Amino acid sequence: MSTILKFEDLEIWQQARMLSFEVFKATQKSPFSSDFRFRDQIKAAAGSAMDNIAEGFERSSRLEFIHFLGIAKGSCGEVKSQLYRALDQNYISNDLFSEMYNGYTKLASGIAAFIIYLNKTEARGLRFKDRADNKP
């Protein structure tokens, strides 16, 4: 794997950004837009997936990154559950549900694969790259 210098270069972050945009777009349509609490909840979960990937990357240690990736993966599950609620309330179509559900399933799988990679690698975070005796 080549060296990634910024979180924006991570494919999982790019996927999370695109999916977050789709969630935001779906919540702008009526009647979804009128259900303020639910609308804000699903938007927050969608943003959380994207934001936790970025925050973990910026924490500069491999173990912290893995921790935040776990949170991001959990946010994917939260959005998927909320998509069922949106479908049940007829806020979104079956097609949109399937598209977004599959997108979040793929994102969660990508995050899981990246966590496995990070757990196996000897790569260190920026804070520890010069410490030969410390393996964060």
pLDDT in tens, 46-97: 999 999 999 999 987 899 999 999 999 999 999 999 999 999 999 999 999 9
Q: What's the pLDDT at 3?
A: 79
* Residue 109 covered by a domain: yes
Distance CA 4, CA 58 (A): 12
* 11 Cβ contact partners less than 8 Å away, ≥ 6 residues apart: 110
pLDDT (tens digit per residue) in 10-43: 999 999 999 999 999 999 999 999 999 999 999 9
**Residue 136 preceded by cis peptide, ω within 30:** no
Whether residue 131 is predicted with pLDDT greater than 60 in this model: the reply is no
Predicted model pTM: 0.86
* Average pLDDT for 127-135: 44
Task: Please check whether residue 81 lies inside any domain of the structure.
Answer: yes
Alpha-carbon torsion 60, 63, 65, 71, what sign?
Answer: negative
pLDDT reported for residue 122 = 76
CATH at 51: 1.20.1440.60
129 found inside a domain: no
Whole-number pLDDT of residue 83: 98
Q: What tokens does 52 get?
A: 């936790």
- Per-residue confidence (pLDDT) for residue 9, from 0 to 100: 94
Eight-state DSSP code of residue 129: T
Q: What domain range includes position 103?
A: 8-27+34-121
Tokens of 115: 């966590």
User: In the 8-state DSSP scheme, what is residue 135?
Assistant: -
State how many domains the chain has.
1
Rounded to whole angstroms, how far apart are CA atoms 17 and 48? 10
**106 within domain boundaries:** yes
* Side-chain half-sphere exposure of 123, counting CA atoms within 13 A: 21
